[in-house]
Structure 1
């Protein structure tokens, strides 16, 4: 609110003038001793030191009141640097693919306030940032798939920021088993209708249904190395 209402009291009837420094912001006539209020002119963001005087029916003007400092704050800065916490990233830290279903999301704010983490219009978690700096929120359990997350902050003046730049986190809790394992034709020394070979370091092929990053385990088993008898 850039035009706040300022209240006070006087001990006698008179004309009350509200000032910022030497600039009059508003005037009201107090018909008797008691309370008064003045709506200040629109004030810019920042601190404003206000005072008041009263001029009575005899033409006497009082000294200035004790000062009141009012701080105008009409906007909250947007949270920045949303990221998937390293401890919640089960794979490569160069991406945001993880098998952690309740990941920790981190970010920063430029002022104290209440940070809310969203997926679309759904709030996933809240934390109070006591000062400018880092914050973190543990999201509730997320389903497999991509989740586009953002955050806002509401400051002490009641302003809510715009949404942060989005962070997409992909949850993947299971890998499909490789299929179609086969002895490569180049490693099959005999008939390609079987898997009997004299190649001691054969090439094994197969297929997977998802892309990199992949972690492959090579399982070694004893191989028959005897050559297939040849028909003369």
Structure 2
């Protein structure tokens, strides 16, 4: 079990064979064994789940080996919920005796401020308890964190504040005094009600975690109560059912199917026939109704992006698609209006639809489509504005060069933010010097505008510039110029990526870059090599009408570690 979702595999196979990797029956990538038969491969990002990984080897004659023995790996990157501290007392040795609940079989560490003062392991029900090391006299603030089997650490629990050395005061009973010449009174006794139980959590809190709005009709409650007591669970004044707390006081209860609406859940526990006060109310709103499909109102286009506006259920999340490809995400305001700007689009006709997902996680049907044309020109004719080169500088700035109509005005955008303008020369060439680009990646596009300010052309691609650290730079469907700068960068390309250039691809060294093709483009290193050629100082990889140029790169220096296939 691991919280690393990119797994490095190493092994041996027949010398120079092609090693193919599978997750179950799904092919996830390939690499090539060395002349000694050794190989290693780093997977793409794997989902949180159990993965059964195997490998086969294919020799130069096309013969495929039997599958290797399977390696079962469980990926878990989700941190556990914060523990609860249900009870804390102080013993005669100036130690705090602390107990509570957390994720089952997790490791609990209790801290006094930032100092660890105890550790324990939860049982299969999630209950835990420990006695801290001796504490100094005075007030202390204790919190707990849970670490799951994969090594993910929760946020800290709510704090408790035991006081050491203050002493404890006992309680005294009250009696009824007798009367008479020599009579004596007798002390009365009573049965003390148990402390009110706690509802610590419920599941599943679908949609937006923590908002207590869910589309799960059967809720599972977890909490603490007096050990071995009977816990009654109520919705308002209606009893839903009962559960029995275990020897550590932990209990769980799953409701019957509840109707849509607000539910006020409480719990009370009974010991020796005496019932506690009710717990603090847990309010949960159940909503299983999908919202109406969004209504798309407009689709203004600019620098190869479309801004889609419309209306949908207030507070819902909007996703805009072209086919099955997600182009952008936004949220509706209190008035139900939204605006989503898409990623870069290729020149031509497009058809968009949108869905709405409410706070409970219910998703609507798709909207009626709209079809904005991308890259169309105004009445003054066509434009040939393009980005042709990028040159980074030592001071974290860069010079972007391009072409357009002679003497035309060019506006530059970083994403959707306007960053300046230049005028093309008599030969149609233009150059723009950026401000400081450190701290994040940047994607520049260019627009040509006429004398009235109307856009008459937009560059088909982008100038994409990294930070100098390890970045992921994703190509568009236009003609992109990409500079990762220093750092181990990943350059991503999907189908129909255009005519792209990587100016500083590093095929070796500590800052070793990687090119990731979607499997619709290439699915193996051998396939890449069959479409690659040396062109002067550069390597050109061509597929269909698309090309990727690696500047100042030698074809014989490339190997399978330089490529991933997703």
RMSD over aligned CA atoms reads 2.6
2:298 to 58, 68, 84: 84
Kindly provide the CA deviation profile for residues 181-228 of structure 1, in whole angstroms up to 9, marking residues without a partner as x. Answer: xxxxxxxxxxxxxxxxxxxxxxxxxxxxxxxxxxxxxxxxxxxxxxxx
Q: Which residue of 2 aligns with 1:17?
A: 232
Say yes or no: does 1:149 pair with 2:352: yes
Q: Paired residue for 2:343? A: 140
| SS of residue in 2 equivalent to 1:148 | coil
TM-aligned CA distance change 1:167 to 1:33, over 3 Å: same
Partner of 1:36: 251
* Partner SS state of residue 371, structure 2: strand
CA distance in 2, matches of 1:135, 1:70: 27
- Residue 210 (structure 1) aligns with: none
Residue number in structure 2 paired with 1:65: 279
Q: Per the alignment, do residues 139 and 33 of structure 1 end up closer, same or farther by CA in structure 2, a change over 3 Å counting?
A: closer
Greater relative contact order (Cα < 8 A, sep 6+): 1
Indicate the structure (1 or 2) with the bigger Cα radius of gyration.
Answer: 1
Shift of 1:170: 3.7
Partner of 1:6: 221
Question: Any gaps of 5 or more consecutive residues in structure 2?
Answer: 1-215, 379-566
Conserved in 2, the CA contact under 8 Å of 1:78 and 1:163?
A: no
Classify 1:66/1:45 alpha carbon distance in 2 versus 1 (closer, same or farther; 3 Å).
Answer: same
1:154 deviates by: 2.6
Of 309, 312, 317, 1:109 maps to: 312
> Cα gap change, 1:62/1:174 in structure 2, threshold over 3 Å: closer, same or farther?
closer
Question: Alpha-carbon deviations, 1:60-90, whole Å to 9, x = none?
Answer: 22232221111112244134220224xx37x
Are 2:239 and 1:48 equivalent residues in the alignment?
A: no
Report the counterpart of residue 322 of structure 2 in structure 1: 119
TM-score, length-scaled by structure 1 = 0.61
Which segments of 5 or more consecutive residues in structure 1 lack a partner in the other structure? Answer: 90-98, 176-232
Query: Equivalents in 1 of 2:350, 2:320: separation in Å?
Result: 12
Distance, in Å, in 2 between the alignment partners of 1:102 and 1:31 is: 59
| Among candidates 354, 362, 372, match of residue 169 of structure 1 | 372
Question: Is the 2:313–2:358 contact (alpha carbons within 8 Å) kept by the matching residues of 1?
Answer: no
CA contact (8 A) 2:226 2:269 kept: no
Q: What residue in structure 2 maps to residue 194 of structure 1?
A: none
Q: CA deviation at 1:113?
A: 3.1
Contact 1:77 1:111 in 2 (8 A): no
Aligned residues: 163
2 CA distance for matches of 1:16 and 1:45? 25
Asked if the contact 2:260/2:285 (under 8 Å) is kept, the reply is yes
CA distance in 2: counterparts of 1:149 and 1:75, whole angstroms: 24
List per-residue Cα deviations over 1:66-124 (Å, max 9, x = no partner).
21111112244134220224xx37xxxxxxxxx97422211112121321110110111
TM-score, scaled to structure 2:
0.27
Deviation, structure 1 residue 39: 0.5
Residues 32 and 172 of structure 1: CA distance in aligned 2, closer, same or farther (over 3 Å): closer
CA distance 1:78–1:159, change in 2 (3 Å) = same
Q: 1:75, 1:161 within 8 Å by CA — same for their partners in 2? A: no
Contact 2:236–2:263 (Cα < 8 Å) also in 1 = no
